[in-house]
Amino acid sequence: MPHLPTSDGRQPWRAHVLTLFPEAFPGPLGVSLAAQARNARIWSLDTTQLRDFGLGKHRQVDDTPAGGGAGMVLRADVLGPALDHAQNLNPEAPLIYLSPRGTPLTQGLARDLAQGPGVTLLAGRFEGIDERVIAAKGLKEISIGDYVLAGGEVAAMVLIEACVRLLPGVVGTSESLTTESFEMGLLEYPQFTKPRDWDGRSIPDVLLSGDHKKIETWRREQSERLTADRRPDLLRSRGQKPT
């Protein structure tokens, strides 16, 4: 019974992954906050085995690339019906293909997706998928970074985890979300905890001063310095809404 409402009557945020490796899930989504939130029905996770839509006795899902070249490509006549099936289950959810060619996944995009009804995610394998499926089904392509993975499963988990921790009730205080890296268009300031002295290093005095105004100023400066050093591209795009 995956789609019962939460105790306060809200519908869960629904993640559905189409994959050749459903056994990879929930993986890291099955521990800690994401697991608790799933038990509380704040979100749900379903997988569809693409091979169930495979062709013939061998349930074939892929074939050689038209025009030649290395590797195999997932077939349109397999993915099409699989995507139709998934779309029927959650018609309002965007259809997303995890792909190195896609729009980069950012905190802003995760926030937008977390505000919707959920996501239907297609995880590719091999050389990828037949291009015609992307156009025919209106797939939105999303990349988790400028490197190539062996499959879309880990990328799907990354996207889901980034969204799930933004759902109301998942992370304890909403303040711990708003001060995080990227939320202000800045990287987060350095964090410290006990003990006060460790290995010849101490916690910066200002953090122990109890002066909240000073602490806020120090953190802000640290954030700006770190961002300028490591990610000047974030500062340049700060005029716009942070994404």
Nearest to 132 by CA among 54, 76, 77, 86: 76
Whichever of 118 and 128 has its CB closer to ligand SAH, that residue is: 128
61 in Cβ contact with 75 (< 8 Å): yes
Binding status of residue 47 toward ligand SAH by CB under 6 A? no
Nearest to 117 by CA among 25, 16, 19, 22: 16
Q: Find the shortest distance in angstroms from Cβ 211 to ligand SAH.
A: 44
Binding status of residue 155 toward ligand SAH by CB under 6 A? yes
Report which secondary-structure segment, H or E, holds 89.
helix 76-89
Residue of 152, 164, 218, 219 interacting with ligand SAH (CB under 6 A) = 152
Q: Find the shortest distance in angstroms from Cβ 212 to ligand SAH.
A: 41
Residue of 61, 86, 110, 123 interacting with ligand SAH (CB under 6 A) = 123
163 in Cβ contact with 110 (< 8 Å): yes
Q: Find the shortest distance in angstroms from Cβ 142 to ligand SAH.
A: 7
Q: Is 88 exposed, middle or buried (0-12, 13-18, 19+ CB in 10 A)?
A: exposed
Q: Find the shortest distance in angstroms from Cβ 218 to ligand SAH.
A: 36
Residues binding ligand SAH (CB under 6 A):
98-101, 123-125, 127-128, 143-145, 147-149, 151-152, 155
